[in-house]
Chain A
Amino acid sequence: MGLEEKLPSGVLTTTVATMLNIARKNSLWPAQFGLACCAIEMMAVGGPRFDIARFGMERFSATPRQADLMIVAGRVSQKMAPVLRQIYDQMPEPKWVLAMGVCSSSGGMFNNYAIVQGVDHVVPVDMYLPGCPPRPEMLLDAILKLHDKIKAAPINGKVEWTTLDESPYEKPIVRDTRISKGLPVDQPLVFPAPLPGERPA
């Protein structure tokens, strides 16, 4: 804008909130909470093929005091739930929770008395990742979507996107080809295009 034109090259202006959020998301240390089979996929993500170190997350801290992101990987039994809550309480702010796999998102295939039906009964969850187990690429995709949420957060809060439609980062790239096709351009572009007979949103 006006100020940036006058500054020499190599100087970037931004907001404090953006700086903080970029710093937070680029070095998100996971608290290792691998409980069951999903932990194997989490270990695979830490390996060289699906490298998580490129996102700054290779240090899976065993101590929650130095962790930012708790990846709940695996089924949480009734006996483990207070332990999970205690580890979550021991993490300092700002902290996020990623429920990895169907067992931590919703109880998974274990619909019975012994497994907590969804870890959001115990801790507040920021990202749900289905899969049994989710592939390492799926875990990386969930982490990147969580990065988007972190980047868009205000300075001392969190965004409350419940669906991805509200995220500004998941909008598809749409090119308006109506002019080249000779279609009328007086109406705004609607994407996805409504089916014939359907009322446009």
Chain B
Amino acid sequence: MFGASGFGDTSGFGGLAVRPQQLESTPKPYGEWFDEATGALEETLPNFGDVIERVVVHRGELTLFVKREAIADLCQLLRDDPRLRFEHFSGVSGVDYPNDPTGRRLHAVYHLLSMTNRRRLRLEVSVSDADPHVPSVTGVYPGANWHERETYDFFGIVFDGHPGLTRIEMPDDWPGHPQRKDYPLGGVPVEYKGATIPPPDERRSYA
């Protein structure tokens, strides 16, 4: 229960094993409230099969992979439908999968919360680096404003229709998008007590 296992590397650069993405839909029935919610969505959305690429249920959480053109309309539907009522927008962030088999490596992940039904939902939109445009959901959820700016700043996903898409955490003229997997950490070697310690991504294993 106590004590470090392994060699105690907490820098996060010690070779993290990443679970590969689940590329097929979970087979029905999904369980819990997911069938009811996806059933309601199927009824209200005329082109459900076109819009929703796949439905993944993993560890008790529902994720819908959405085509990027439909994300804003889908969010409006999720917010307004009386059976769904996902009123609270928790955030949008980005994920970079450099080895994505379809070539669309940048994912924008939206988290929605329904306070009336006490449910959480995740929407995921994947775009490629060559064409990183996603419609903005600020018309539906105004709170997405800064979240989309941060996703643009760190991943380079351009949100069309955003009222003011600029960098929010890096300086305005910063080149590159820092949280992509191919962006270097940018650390400097540190001299301490006679030894020179490289930055955490260049260290060897001390096991």
> Residues on A close to B: CB < 8 A?
77-79, 82, 106-107, 111-114, 117
Contact = CB atoms under 8 A, between A and B. Distances in A.
Interface in B149-188: 169-171, 174, 178, 183-188
17 contacts: A78-B170, A78-B174, A79-B169, A79-B170, A107-B188, A111-B187, A111-B188, A111-B190, A111-B200, A112-B185, A113-B184, A113-B186, A114-B169, A114-B170, A114-B178, A114-B186, A117-B188
A82 B199 CA distance: 25
A82 B171 CA distance: 10
Contacts of B199: 111-112
Contacts of B171: 78-79, 82
Say whether chain B's binding surface is mostly helix, strand, loop, or mixed. Answer: loop
B188 A113 contact: no
B24 to A, nearest CB: 37
B174 to A, nearest CB: 7
Contacts of A78: 170-171, 174
Given A112-B185, A113-B185, 16 more contacts: A78-B171, A79-B169, A82-B171, A106-B190, A107-B188, A111-B187, A111-B188, A112-B186, A112-B187, A113-B178, A113-B183, A113-B184, A113-B186, A114-B178, A114-B186, A117-B188
B11 to A, nearest CB: 10
Contacts of A113: 178, 183-186
A79 B173 CA distance: 10
Contacts of B170: 78-79, 114
Interface string B63-90: 0000000000000000000000000000
Contacts of B190: 106, 111
A185 B141 CA distance: 85
